[in-house]
Homo-oligomer: A and B are copies of this chain.
Amino acid sequence: MAESKQKQSNKKRPIIDVDIHEGALYEDLLPYLDNPWKRYITDSDWVMEKHLPYPIPGPDGLNRADAKTPDGRPAGTDLSFMQEQLLDEVGHEYGILTSAFDPSPSSMHGWYEMAHALASAYNDYQIDHWLDKDERLYGSVHVAAQEPQSAVREIERVGSHPKMVQVMLPIDDRPWGDPYYHPIFEAAERHNLMIAMHHNEPPSYYGKYPRYFVEWHCVMPNTHMVQINSMVFNGVFEKYPNLKLMMVEAGFTYAPALMRKMDQQYKALRHEVPWIKRLPSQIIREHVCFSTQPSDELSSEEFMTFVDLMGSDEMICFSTDYPHWDYDSPFQALPSLGEDLENKIFRENARNFYPKLQNTRRPVSQ
């Protein structure tokens, strides 16, 4: 197994990385904020609610200690440092920015108007400081999804930017398949945007956090399953057939059991959801992709077993999770999988997933 990993790791190739957490300081957003929002930040040290109750694992908390910039800015908040440490070093063809929003504006449990203002300011900042500055970087539209009308307005405002590829939804205590949120999906589809989901900080486990960070990390996939389940049975993919869903940062090994469970239950209970005409596993295969990080350290054989159980090798997309402490290097994270499958996972599956990447192929000089 060590040897097969070696083989893969030696290969430098252009990749599409579907999860890069770029970030900002509050001061970076001030030019994009009006009052009163601006004044809450400048005059009252307002910060978004935070809930994570654990000690943080590494010397720079949730981030790689070596990702702090030389002039002391937090990891992921400086384009030129990210270019040097990540994009040039790895040889990215494209990277999809998912943000370090923590918690997401969509996770704020009060003051939705401030959430909307922050999301909107962040989108402008992202376009100015990242998307328009590096042709390799594509972005995510941030919204205050707890208030779908404001989210739709924001998607209308920036969703047609040529480098915005998806709408970002946090996974916390809202199952997004609920019809209340469908206007968001309608707007996303109208703008050729996909949906990405990423777990967020507020409690998702029985309404409270497990006791340990490690325990919380092990059941992150559970919250992803709840969302896939919610999106499928609420008929989101029947109503919006061009919509796809990228599940970010919980790996893919949970998919085979979920797909079987959903098929078996659907066969017994489909009278309850008559608008669902296909097997859930088929809907998932056509509409859902999974990012690889954090790698489960599978052997080549195990990896292939899970791919076989998923019934498709087009649902897995590589991600680094840069600059988080548990960053996956494309040279080390995956076992050797053969040229065809590696091409799919490191690049082609993501290209097929994001329509805005399909007609473009960046010249790569690596």
**Which residues of A pack against B, CB within 8 Å?**
54-55, 57, 172-175, 177-178, 204-207, 210-215, 217-219, 221-222, 225-226, 229-230, 233-234, 251, 253-254, 256-258, 260-270, 272-273, 280, 294-298, 302, 305-306, 308-309, 326
Complex contact A211–B230 (CB within 8 A): yes
Pick from B172, B211, B251, B305: contact of A233, CB below 8 A: B211
Q: A206-B207, A206-B226 are in contact. Are A305 and B297 (CB under 8 A)?
A: no
Please name the 5 residue pairs, one residue from A and one from B, whose CB atoms are nearest each other, closest first: A253-B257, A214-B269, A222-B222, A207-B207, A173-B206
Query: How distant is the Cα of A213 from the Cα of B268 in the complex, in angstroms?
Result: 11
CB-defined contacts of A267 to chain B, threshold 8 Å: 297
Pick from B213, B230, B251, B298: contact of A215, CB below 8 A: B230
Pick from B225, B272, B305: contact of A214, CB below 8 A: B272
Complex contact B296–A264 (CB within 8 A): yes
Complex contact B215–A219 (CB within 8 A): no
Q: A254-B254, A297-B264 are in contact. Are A210 and B222 (CB under 8 A)?
A: no
CB-defined contacts of A269 to chain B, threshold 8 Å: 57, 213-214, 217
Query: How distant is the Cα of A32 from the Cα of B18 in the complex, in angstroms?
Result: 62
Complex contact B217–A265 (CB within 8 A): yes
Tell which of A55, A272, A308 has the most Cβ of chain B within 10 Å. A272
Q: A251-B261, A253-B257 are in contact. List 19 more A-B contacts (CB 8 A).
A: A55-B272, A57-B268, A175-B206, A204-B206, A205-B226, A212-B233, A213-B269, A214-B269, A215-B229, A217-B269, A218-B262, A218-B280, A219-B229, A254-B257, A260-B298, A264-B294, A267-B297, A305-B308, A305-B309
Query: How distant is the Cα of A178 from the Cα of B269 in the complex, in angstroms?
Result: 35
29 A-B pairs (CB sep. < 8 Å): A57-B272, A174-B206, A175-B210, A204-B206, A210-B229, A212-B272, A214-B233, A214-B265, A214-B268, A214-B270, A214-B273, A217-B265, A218-B258, A218-B261, A218-B265, A218-B280, A219-B225, A219-B229, A221-B257, A222-B225, A251-B261, A253-B261, A254-B257, A254-B261, A257-B257, A260-B296, A260-B298, A261-B296, A263-B297
